[in-house]
Amino acid sequence: MTNKNIQKLIDKYLAGETSPREEQRLALALSQHQDLPEEWESIRLMLGELTLGEAEYDAIMAQRNTRPSALLIALRIISSVAAIYLVGLFFYLQQEPVAKVETAYNNKVEKQQSAPQPEYCTEGTPREILMCYLERRQAQPDTYKQLKRMSNENK
């Protein structure tokens, strides 16, 4: 509080118009002021110990209400971290498991490996042998291109 404001409050106090709250503010301001003039020292004495004590009581209570304790801050941090972790875990569990291709646990790969096809199309009617040959040729074009090239070279 500035000296001008203190003087205004003192004038109001001497006029009997201050509220108890204003008197507490004045007592607190005067107690914190260094090198009080004699007139202000008189006002400090008049306001008395009770007014000053009450002002300090209210100031401490107000400070407590506005400043969170260290324990509260720690609890807030812990709860924030836990909340973030739980949200992340929730979304992670919502994902459908994706089967990894070409692993030992892939059923399709296992089936292909466990039941190898015969090297040549030899069984069935001639039409079935022909269809088998064409399917294989379509499935493995590179192999058959190479075979064709080799057969041409041998001619």
Q: Which of 57, 1, 4 is nearest to 26 (CA)?
A: 1
14 binds another protein (CB under 8 A): yes
Q: Point out which span in 7-15, 76-84, 87-95, 132-140 binds another protein (CB under 8 A).
A: 7-15
Q: Which lies closer to another protein via its Cβ, residue 61 or residue 147?
A: 61
Query: Exposed e or buried b for every residue in 17-53, given b needs 16+ CB within 10 A?
Result: ebeeeebbbbbbbbeeeeeeeeebeebbeebeeebbe
Cα gap 139→151, rounded to integer Å: 20
Would you say 37 or 141 has its CB closer to another protein? 37
Q: Pattern 32-51, binding to another protein, x per CB under 8 A?
A: ------xx-xxx-xxxxxxx
Given the rule CB under 8 A, which residues bind another protein? 13-17, 19-20, 31, 38-39, 41-43, 45-54, 56-57, 60-61
